Every structure is written in C-alpha cells, then in structure tokens.
Amino acid sequence: MFRIGLTGGIGSGKSAAAAYFRELGIHVVDADWAARVVVQPGRPALEQIAQHFGASVLLENGTLDRAQLRALVFDNPAERAWLEGLLHPLIREEILLSLARSASPYAILESPLLIESGQHQLVDRICVVDLPESLQLERASARDENHPEQIRKIMAAQLDRQERLAKADDVLDNTADLAALNRQIEALHQKYLLLAAAAQE
C-alpha cells in the first residue's frame, strides 16, 4: 500500500485538501480520529489512564475528560511522557490498521503533527499544505474564533514553516482560493497514481 502523509500547520488547509482527495476516491485516515479512538470506553488505554490519574479524568458518561487530562499533564513532563508512552504506540497501531483497510490506489494519513510525532515513518511521502504564517493566523482565527494569541501559541508548538517545507516531498500552495488548491491536488493525484502503480511492480 502506497501511503502519503498530509500535513501542515494550524489553519493551513489540511482538512480542505483531505476533503478533495476523498472526493477523488482516496482513503484518508485522520490521525486525530485515531487518537480519539484509542481512548474510547472499552479500550484498555482508557482504563489505564483512569487508574493512573484517578477517576477525575472520566466524565459522568464514562468517556475521557480531555480538558482535565490536558490540565493534568500540562507543565508536568513526567506525566506527559507517561501518557505519550502509553498512547503513541496505540495510535500508531490504529493508524496502520486503518491505512491497511484502504481499497483505494493509495492512502493518505492526515496529521497536523505528522513530522513532530514521528508518524512520517508510517508513510512513503510527505505532502505539505503551505501558506505564509500571517495567512495561517488569519484563517485559523477566523475559523475558530480563537484569540490570535492562542493560535500563535499553537503555531509555536508546531514546526515552523521552513522546517516543515524542508521535509516535504510535495507542496500544495494554499495561498490562493480553494479552486487553486484543488487544481494542484488533481495534478498531485495523477502523480501519486503513477507512483503507487510503480511501487506495486
């Protein structure tokens, strides 16, 4: 299975790009979805987290209180390391299972922290959705009604534009409108079909 990692900073247009790849019939796995699945009720990780941090990390309906968990590991590197040690291998396994279920000619892993988390090791190529940081800030603020300061903090915790671009095999420039993005995706899709076919030989 030929696999593409799709990444980009907050507000870059990953979801928009992923939606168009889906329209073209490509199976897209969302790393954020995998991260939520592994802590669903009934999964062993949720039990382990509740044992480690106490029942205060569970909501009344038995699901994970993400805000509470974030607060508990915030500023606590040891607890954060424990949590990541538990979850990262499980997320990785969930992603691989989901990628393997793909019936499309190639599959995409959409992940905001593809490179930062090491998930790029699960893919054959890295596709970066790129735009100037000022525009990233503008679009992310408009979408989330988040304070720009909050968006800046998230941007600071992610790779910066140049570091991300340095890892890219392919770049989608999302500075212009969605039609322009989709045209680039169509061209890339043709390239990926060829690469996927070549990889099968």
User: 129, 123, 93, 101: which is closest to 12 by C-alpha?
Assistant: 129
- Using CA atoms, how far residue 162 sits from 8, 9, 129, 143, 158, in Å, is 11, 11, 12, 24, 11
Q: Which letter does DSSP use for residue 104 in this model?
A: S
CB of 176 to ligand ATP, least distance (A): 6
Q: Under the criterion CB under 6 A, does residue 184 sit at the interface with ligand ATP? A: no
Q: Under the criterion CB under 6 A, does residue 5 sit at the interface with ligand ATP? A: no
Q: Under the criterion CB under 6 A, does residue 7 sit at the interface with ligand ATP? A: no
Which of the residues 54 through 83 are near ligand ATP (CB under 6 A)?
A: none
Mark residues 92-131: x for contact with ligand ATP by CB under 6 A, - for none.
--------------------x-------------------
Q: Under the criterion CB under 6 A, does residue 49 sit at the interface with ligand ATP? A: no
> Does the annotation flag 12 for ligand binding?
yes
CB of 153 to ligand ATP, least distance (A): 13
Q: Which residues contact residue 198 at a Cβ distance below 8 angstroms, ignoring those fewer than 6 apart?
A: none
Q: Under the criterion CB under 6 A, does residue 161 sit at the interface with ligand ATP? A: no
Q: Which two tokens stand for residue 122?
A: 């699960």
Q: Which letter does DSSP use for residue 119 in this model?
A: G
| C-alpha span between 103 and 107 (Å, rounded) | 8
Binding site for ATP, by residue number, is 11-16
Binding site for ligand ATP (CB under 6 A): 8, 10-16, 112, 139-140, 143, 174, 177-178, 181
